Amino acid sequence: MRLEGRLEWRLSEAALELEVFPRGPLEAVWLVPKGPKKTFPEGRACIPRGLWPAKILVKAWGRAWEILVPPEGWPEKVWRRGLGLPAGGANR
């Protein structure tokens, strides 16, 4: 039997909450802006939102998920449609 890791995440105005199932170590790596790599042994993390957008790579149970976190105050759907991107566009 192979364990299938699953990530649940919630984005509020204040923070990004991550939770991996089954419980186990969770690693978060800031891709944009390039930043720290943090490990959360309990499988749960609460990461405060900043003023700038971020892309975070989350790793657990041999799987990886990329999460785009829009800036504080921007609705996620608006940000994903590209309305928060500078002129000239960017990869979506």
pLDDT tens for 19-39 read: 999 999 999 999 988 888 999
Is 57 inside a domain boundary? yes
Is 90 inside a domain boundary? no
User: How many separate domains does the chain show?
Assistant: 1
Degrees, nearest 5: CA angle 78-80-81: 65
The 8-class DSSP code of residue 24 comes to -
Q: What is the CATH number of the domain that holds 57?
A: 2.60.40
Is 69 inside a domain boundary? yes
The pTM of the full predicted model, rounded to 2 decimals, is 0.74
Which pair of structure tokens corresponds to residue 57? Answer: 């790579």
pLDDT score, position 2:
66
Which pair of structure tokens corresponds to residue 35? Answer: 């930043």
Domain region containing 14? 6-80
Q: How would you label 29-66 residue by residue, b for 16+ Cβ within 10 Å and e otherwise? A: bbeeeeeeeeebeebebebebeeebbebebbbbeeeee
